[in-house]
Structure 1
Amino acid sequence: MFAGTPEVAVPALDAIAESRHELVGVVTRPDAPAGRGRKLVASPVAQRAEELGVPLLKPEHPRDPEFQESLKQLRPDCCPVVAYGALLPQSALDIPPHGWVNLHFSCLPAWRGAAPVQHSIWAGDEVTGATTFRIVKAMDAGPTFGVMTERIRDTDTAGDLLTRLAEGGAGLLVTTLDGIEDGVLVPREQPEEGVSMAPKILVEDARIDWTEPAQAVDRRVRACTPFPGAWSTFEGERIKIGPVTPAASNLEPGEIAVGKNHVLVGTGTSAVRLGEVKAFGKKLMSAADWARGARLEDGARLGE
């Protein structure tokens, strides 16, 4: 039985559905309000499960007795998991004989937690990856089965990198299930050294500090793209800012310089060139278009 919720989990669900293993069911988070109308919408995994025609469970919480009884009736040998989004109680972990096997988007024990891809970019890691491991009570601390690595490109946003890891990780998860079934994979305990944590990134964390070096600004913006979205303020209103690029110009932190087709902003070191900007109540647009619409002049500032 597969457990997952967001779009990033769909490649793994598809890979398992196409594998030699029998997919007896899918568990996902309940429908959630979305869009301007705040109508209840099924998760991407739920929508894909319905297309595949497999039994679908949406418990409020996996500790619910009704859910656990349904799980027992489905009698899964193993429960692969990708970004399910709820903590699994021991009573649920104990049901499948081979446990719950999670695909986590880092090379464990590095970046345990909810936002491993974002933190790896923010920290300036050159390489990250994905790991399969058996879920235990402690956060992402279970014994590991397999790992894949992926180079972090200089222009990668968290969305870019997560897309590649989701595709590559889907194959790793199926290979792990193959090895468990064949009895050739023995999980290894994670080393105690090298543990780092990757807590959820909050909106306030995504606020750009223009006094930081240009490299740090670049990493923060890419790590927070597309979610929760890097931002700053202009004339008291919040604006979202897409990935930036280095520029050979010296400006004061937050100081704006406007060209015909570009907008530069000063940092703690050299300036950066803005890419796309979304002002309050406006659509996403190029920084140059935003500057023309806002009638920006040199010397204006972000972050005040």
Structure 2
Amino acid sequence: MTRSLRVIFAGTPDFAAESLSALLASHHQVIAVYTQPDRPAGRGRKLTPSPVKSLALEHGLPVYQPERLRDEAEQRALAALDADVMVVVAYGLILPLPVLEAPRLGCLNVHASLLPRWRGAAPIQRAIEAGDDESGVTIMQMDEGLDTGDMLIIRRTEILPTTTGGELHDRLAEIGGKAMVEALDRLADGELAATPQPEQGVTYASKLSKAEAELDFAQPAATLAARVRAFNPWPVTWCALGDERLRIHLAEPADGGAPESPGTITRADTELLVACGAEGRERLRITRAQLPGGKALAVSELLRARAERFPQGTLLGRPFPETSA
């Protein structure tokens, strides 16, 4: 039987909690959990533990929440845990070299992309936004670079034309947890081979921002639909509807039509079509949307309840400045 490894786990959000759950169900021993300090959340801005901390406390695990790991005292405390390996999943803190070298077998990372594509903060959403037809998880031996370490295990999954950021997130979280346990089993047996990342094909997945969520209907329908799916469930795309915001949760390209000003509602009966593209010849079909103060609804239901808000010919969005060549 594969011997049990002493594991330090470092992670913060739901995605990381899935890997921690998989480790806790394995025969490996989680000896400590590192996670981000509690942050204010909700309307009351109450200090709230991360999903990883909540899960760790449920299982009676010691939890460490340093503001940073560059302090020598924190590094000594981590080294004193005498771990075989450290598993890092969406932790949110930079690991300096003394931390990377503290565990006997180093630090392994669950990264939600097919490295070297989409290194960085938001690989799940950027893959959908870019129109990639597949994504996956890479188990990586960490080094001092940004997601530059050697690849240990790769697992792939398809991105469908309907896949949202939330759906891909959940799928990759499950795949990542299973792949990490497999990696630890093979590591314990001395059978885990490392492959350097190729120099070609490197892309960077920059952090998501709310500013990016505003739709520019001068862009092609396929580009807009991909962004809508990528940014569901956060930060959720939107456009101006008069003086208010219409949040768009789901949309898809539709058959084109006569040229209209980009952003013009060309149909609003049983479906909601909006002219888009540089010449307004393309159409975006909005299928799920949300008015201020309301819930996200299927557009057919929204049109039945609030048809007066979507008269044909209404211009959605704001004029966007022309970009210089």
Note whether the superposition's TM-score is higher than 0.5: yes
Q: 1:24 aligns with which of 24, 31, 34?
A: 31
Aligned counterpart, 2:317: 303
Residues 1:57 and 1:274: Cα distance change in structure 2 (over 3 Å): same
User: Which is worse superposed, 233-242 or 94-103?
Assistant: 233-242
Aligned counterpart, 1:278: 290
**Amino acid in the other structure paired with 1:226:** P
Aligned counterpart, 1:266: 275
The answer as to whether partners of 1:57 and 1:67 remain within 8 angstroms in 2 is no
Cα distance in 2 for partners of 1:30, 1:106 equals: 26
The answer as to whether partners of 2:250 and 2:289 remain within 8 angstroms in 1 is no
Post-superposition offset of 1:284: 2.5
User: Which is worse superposed, 154-163 or 61-70?
Assistant: 61-70
Aligned length: 304
Q: 2:178 aligns with which of 171, 182, 190?
A: 171
**Amino acid in the other structure paired with 2:155:** M
Is 2:264 aligned against 1:255? yes
Q: 1:14 aligns with which of 11, 21, 24?
A: 21
Aligned counterpart, 2:102: 95
1:276-303 per-position Cα deviation (integer Å, ceiling 9, x unaligned): 2223343323334545435321110111
Is 2:209 aligned against 1:202? yes
1:92-113 per-position Cα deviation (integer Å, ceiling 9, x unaligned): 1121121110000111111100
Cα distance in 1 for partners of 2:131, 2:116 equals: 17
Aligned CA RMSD, in angstroms, stands at 1.6
Is 2:197 aligned against 1:185? no
Q: 1:128 aligns with which of 121, 132, 135?
A: 135
Cα distance in 2 for partners of 1:142, 1:136 equals: 5
**Amino acid in the other structure paired with 1:287:** V
- In structure 1, the residue corresponding to 2:207 is in which secondary structure? coil
Q: Which runs of 5+ in 1 are unaligned?
A: none
**Amino acid in the other structure paired with 1:21:** H
User: Which is worse superposed, 265-274 or 286-295?
Assistant: 286-295
The answer as to whether partners of 1:111 and 1:196 remain within 8 angstroms in 2 is yes
Cα distance in 2 for partners of 1:111, 1:52 equals: 33
Aligned counterpart, 2:4: none
Aligned counterpart, 1:115: 122
Q: Which runs of 5+ in 2 are unaligned?
A: 1-7, 319-325
Aligned counterpart, 2:44: 37
Going by fraction, where is strand more abundant, 1 or 2? Answer: 2
User: Which is worse superposed, 18-27 or 40-49?
Assistant: 18-27
Post-superposition offset of 1:235: 1.1
The answer as to whether partners of 1:244 and 1:274 remain within 8 angstroms in 2 is yes
Aligned counterpart, 1:156: 163
Post-superposition offset of 1:49: 0.5
The answer as to whether partners of 2:249 and 2:296 remain within 8 angstroms in 1 is no
- State the identity as a percent: 39
Cα distance in 1 for partners of 2:37, 2:187 equals: 30
**Amino acid in the other structure paired with 1:161:** L
Cα distance in 1 for partners of 2:73, 2:299 equals: 52
TM-score normalised according to structure 2 size: 0.89
Cα distance in 2 for partners of 1:295, 1:175 equals: 53
